[in-house]
Structure 1
Amino acid sequence: MPKTANRPHRVVALALPGVVLLDLAAPAHLFGHCGEGKYAFELAGLSAGPAPDSTGVVLCPKSGLTALEGADTVVVPGCGVPGLSFPEEAVEALRTAHARGARVMSVCTGAFLLAEAGLLDGRRATTHWMHTEELARRYPKVTTVPDVLFVDEGRILTSAGVAAGLDLCLHVVRRDHGAAHAAEVARRTVIAPHREGGQAQYIEQPVPQRPEDSLADIRQWAIEHLSEPIAIADMARRALLSTRSFQRKFVAETATSPGAWLLRQRVAAAQRLLAETSLGVDEVANAVGLGSAEGLRQHFRKQLRTTPTAYRRAFAG
């Protein structure tokens, strides 16, 4: 939802009592400080006036919930413990904004407010990894995705915890104004234009009782042979496990399936080759085991919301 011909795209962030300051800082910086005519950022509370954050810092929104009535995008940062009830007037204002056509996005535990409003029913969503189980338990109509940095469902977007709000907001800038502009905003903010992997890499995992039990060597072997066809059964045989046992153990160690992990490694390797070499797109696709330029383009669209050519143009050199 880029700006209209006559005005910038209006982004309103909702600061409920106990808002997490860093959750709010990401949209305030990327849409406010870096907006530069493309976005107009505004902070809203339950009412105008003092609004304490989760650490006692007092914010001072100039607007109340009526600010949501004219918002093109509403951002809901996390606001404390998800088990707490939400003000009904905030829930209703969010429902109304979405029904009117506003884009709605959450950072961290802000997803709980979206779920409370019913906006996530029948949709995929994520939140901080510490609270994904609680989100799934409290809102069974929501398909909770625990191992990603953000989920884009069109007019509804959710992000993982805290700093993942930067990834989500940068993704929205990229979606609205293209990869090149998003890359410039990322450079200005001193953050990675594309952060590899999901929040699974941050989830606490049990340490194997014996290091030799880990599948790390199998994963390293797969990374070194991405140009070749790699079947899950081949990886299981190398690990001296049945395919079912291998898949179960793999998920326990990485919080993702072998197939999904392997595809992410192929796309990540393609990103590096596009940015660091002059290989053609077909050559890159063959080098990472994705077969053809069309196959590479399909996976780039699905995972990165861009094309190999646009990615190279934005990040090469």
Structure 2
Amino acid sequence: MTDRETSPTRLTLIQRPRRNRKSDWSRRLVRENTLDVSDLIWPVFLTEGDGRRDPVGSMPGVFRLSIDLAVQSIVEAAALGVPAVALFPNTDPTLRDETASVALDPENLVCRACRAIKAAAPEIGVITDVALDPYTSHGHDGILRGDEIVNDETVAVLAQQAVTQARAGSDIIAPSDMMDGRVGAIRAALDAAGFQNVQIMSYAAKYASAFYGPFRDAIGTNKTLRGDKRAYQMDPANTDEALREVALDLEQGADMVMVKPGMPYLDIIHRVAETFHAPTFAYQVSGEYAMIMAAARNGWLDEERAMMESLLAFKRAGAAGVLTYFAPRAAALLRE
């Protein structure tokens, strides 16, 4: 046997990228993107009552919380450094009607929660969803006339809803309805009511996605929704349309924009962030969360690693932050 046959092969390489990966300290030193607690927004589902912690069956580890328990959990999240929460109500079915009248009630579930949260944890931002689907008997985001969700009539109600929420203490109004012109109408209504400093985070590119199913379970609209939302939410095939929608919302006064869903639309997040250089957020929606949790509970994925990797992907795509049901758990890990 010759020396050539017994000695290891040596390549003559000047560039060896693996050198930068050889140890933890070196990997951290050259890391291009990082995830921080300040990047996390926690969506919280609300329900009526006291001491209620109702599990969402399709979202393992997620609960609908009564206001008292929501406040307690949000105080804990604030202590971890989570900067903001987003509120979503499961409205009593007996209060839902064709015109979403309870959306304008200053004593509705979201408004009462806003006041309680700001009293207990004034340092955390409160984001409220402006859309009518949690309040309508038909499950749509707007006013239904015949078979059509009427745009302009809906926008008038959304503007009133936004002012109602601002009066309750909402810091950021987040219209998720995808009606044309709603950002401008909401900005004008807020300013006229003296809420010039209340921000708008627009769901600017919200797609008609199959990934919303567990969310609709959580807010109780899966059984009430008549038809689908493709007449106003975006076609998943389109990308340029997302840029047009974002441009319109920024022109009308949006302070921040959002892409929803998140992981299946990383290309949209990247295009929006690169094109507009405006604060761009991603929503890691219920279906994305449910897939990770289901796979992890079947032993197919490392839950913790998959959770953190998925969140980092949004930062890599250019997101300024992420709405995620993982927020408290991720925050605890990032603080360790």
Q: Does TM, normalized by the shorter one, top 0.5?
A: no
The structure with more helix, counted as a fraction of residues = 1
The structure showing larger relative contact order (alpha-carbon pairs under 8 Å, at least 6 residues apart) is 2
The structure with more strand, counted as a fraction of residues = 2
Higher-Rg structure is 2
Q: Normalised by the size of structure 2, how large is the TM-score?
A: 0.30
